[in-house]
Amino acid sequence: MSKPFVLITGASQGIGAAIARVFARELRGVRLALVARNVKGLASTARACVALGAKAETFACDVSDESAVTAMAAAVQARFGGVEVLINNAGKFAGAPFTEMSVADFDRMIAANLRSVFLVSRAFAPGMIARGRGDIFNMSSIAGLIAYPGGAGYSAAKFGVTGLSKVMRAELREKGVRVCCVYPGATVSPSWDGSGVDPARMMPAADVAQAFFAVYRLSRRTVVEEIVLRPQRGDV
């Protein structure tokens, strides 16, 4: 396969880091732009990808901040040129009962999980449209399909990712840009630390990452619009 330029947000740990490693392993020589706030974690992911044969650069950025995304996009463009595969993986979780969740915490969930997808996609989709080709993956969650108690902010944001992905797909499908929304259940990653869920009842992050690559490698005549991944033995 050709060696695309892949940008992954939330690439410092968990599923994002696993996705970076899968692309590095499967497409030797792939160019990776790794984006997150955690500079130390980004450096660790980049080293692992370079060891696998990738060309990896790190870009520290809060993807919920408009000016930060604008600056990051300019830096990526100057270093690599246009993004061919965009993986909007960044996000965070904080739970609280609906009647007890503060407005500030609700806004943070929306910003981290939904606003970030809008900002980063808006920064890179025009280049894909101009080239007539591209792939965008938006990370939703099982919580974007099924509501859970204590997930007011998170579920609202992830349901929003679902809706935004559908709009993006409707607008971009005739322009050569494929949009896939991914709904993982419980996955062994820092997001689930302290959840009380037995890791044996979760999916490995590497399996979720492999699904992204499997969808990407399909011919351009096919698009996977949505993919739901659930633990075989789990209920979340």
Question: Is 26's pLDDT higher than 90?
Answer: yes
pLDDT for residue 3: 82
How far is 61 from 78, CA to CA, in rounded Å? 16
How far is 18 from 161, CA to CA, in rounded Å? 21
- Which whole-number Å values give the CA distances from 54 to 64, 106, 219, in the listed order? 27, 38, 23
Question: Is 1's pLDDT higher than 60?
Answer: no
pLDDT for residue 235: 66
How far is 69 from 88, CA to CA, in rounded Å? 13
Mean pLDDT, rounded, for 47-67: 97
pLDDT for residue 193: 63
Nearest to 136 by CA among 152, 150, 147, 123: 123
Mean pLDDT, rounded, for 168-184: 97
For the domain spanning 5-229, the CATH number is 3.40.50.720
pLDDT for residue 186: 86
Residue with the larger pLDDT of the pair 235 and 18: 18
Question: Is 194's pLDDT higher than 90?
Answer: no
Tokens (6 digits) for 62: 């809060």
Ordered by start, the domain boundaries in the chain are: 5-229
Q: Which residue has the tokens 């660790």?
A: 44
pLDDT grade for 173, boundaries at 50, 70 and 90? very high
pLDDT for residue 189: 76
